[in-house]
Amino acid sequence: MKQTDVMGKAPTTTERRLNARRPGRPVGGQLEVDREHVLDAAERVIARDGAGASIEAVALEAGVTKPIVYDRVGGRADLADALAERLADRMVDAANQALQSGGQTGADTGLTRQALTTFIEANLQVVDRHRDLFLYVTGGTTEQTALGRLKLAERSTTPMTRALVAWRRGFGQSAEVAEPWAFGIVGMLQMSAMWWLTQSDRSARDVADQLAELLWHGLPGGDRSA
């Protein structure tokens, strides 16, 4: 059936083009998007184009203009921070699962070298699955400061800090060191992961075991058998 307007006239080709809307685009022509939509698009672009993905490419993938990306998320530094929070949450989930599967859920279980190795390996596996995203959020730009890159560390230290508090108290020692130790461990993991992704052909398990060897003697119970 031929489409007509309210006056009974068929719309012209120009009118049809002007009235055409993408899915989700309300009357008035502005695409309705939220922050998560833009971040989802950014992840797809980074997976496709690598760590050099541009804001223009993200806007195109999201089906919006650059000003909308800036409005919903911000510039590249803000985008990297937001994506770092997403990646850190995945690392937190993986770390929690690793600690739980290893029985490391409280001070009564103590700390074992095996649990530490499993924790590190879980983080490395997340980095490996999202390697381009990891390189994007840790690479930095002229806009992005070192403080901005702390986003990834701030969120991913949560399970490590909790575990260190429990383990220290379990040995009757002060838990004050838990937070700086957690940042130190996660910071080391970030740098080690960058090296591992770009320069090493070792397995995640091998690297995790080697890093655990470095850390183990500095943790309470390091002189105990695993």
| Domain ranges, ordered by start, for the chain | 25-72, 76-216
Place of tokens 């701030």: 154
Which of these, 207, 210, 215, 208, lies nearest to 111 by C-alpha position? 215
The per-residue pLDDT for 63 is 94
pLDDT in tens, the chain (226 residues): 444 444 455 555 444 443 443 433 444 445 567 899 999 999 999 999 988 889 999 999 999 999 999 999 998 888 888 898 899 899 888 877 877 766 555 444 456 788 888 889 999 999 999 999 998 888 765 455 455 567 777 877 877 788 788 888 888 888 898 899 888 888 889 889 989 998 888 999 999 999 998 888 766 544 555 4
Is the CB of residue 59 less than 8 Å from the CB of residue 66? yes
The CATH classification of domain 76-216, taken from the options 3.90.550, 1.10.357, 3.40.1130, 3.40.50: 1.10.357
85 vs 79: CA distance, rounded Å: 10
* pTM for the structure as a whole: 0.72
CA-only gyration radius of the chain, Å = 24
**CB neighbours of residue 209 within 10 Å:** 17
* List of residues 6+ apart from 161 with CB closer than 8 A: 178, 179, 182
The CATH classification of domain 25-72, taken from the options 3.10.350, 3.40.1360, 1.10.10, 1.10.8: 1.10.10
The per-residue pLDDT for 202 is 92
The per-residue pLDDT for 27 is 41
Cβ burial 144-179 (10 Å sphere, 16+ → b, else e)? beeebbebbbebbbbbbbebbbbbbebeeeeeeebe
Place of tokens 């940042």: 183
